[in-house]
């Protein structure tokens, strides 16, 4: 399974989530990863 397929499966599963707590936790993981990536990008430029 390639990355595109994994992302589609993840989004499909995410859309079925009914728990606000789970969505909040997933949002936090995503935002934290975005911050880390942004910091790495700043260091390499």
Do 17 and 23 form a contact (C-beta atoms < 8 A)?
A: yes
Q: What residues contact residue 34 under an 8 Å CB cut-off, 6+ apart?
A: none
Give the span between the Cα atoms of 9 and 3, in whole angstroms. 10
**Dist. CA 20–CA 36, nearest whole Å:** 24
For 2-40, the pLDDT digits (tens) are 999 999 999 999 999 999 999 999 999 999 999 999 888
Tell me how many domains the chain contains. Answer: 1
Residue bearing the bigger pLDDT, 22 or 43:
22
Could you tell me which of 34, 35, 29 has the C-alpha nearest to residue 10? 29
Query: How many angstroms separate the CA atoms of 23 and 40, rounded?
Result: 26
12 within a domain of the structure (yes/no): no
Residues spanned by the domain of 45: 17-45
pLDDT value of residue 8: 98
Kindly indicate the confidence band of residue 44, based on its pLDDT and cuts at 50, 70 and 90.
Answer: confident
Residue 36 lies in a domain: yes
> Does any domain span residue 27?
yes
The pLDDT value given to residue 45 = 67
Domain for residue 9, yes or no?
no
Look at residue 6 and tell me if it is in a domain. Answer: no
């Amino acid at each position: 399974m390639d990355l595109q397929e994994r992302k589609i499966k993840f989004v499909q599963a995410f859309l079925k989530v009914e728990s606000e707590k789970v969505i909040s936790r997933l949002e936090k993981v995503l935002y934290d990863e975005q911050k880390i990536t942004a910091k790495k990008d700043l260091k390499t430029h």
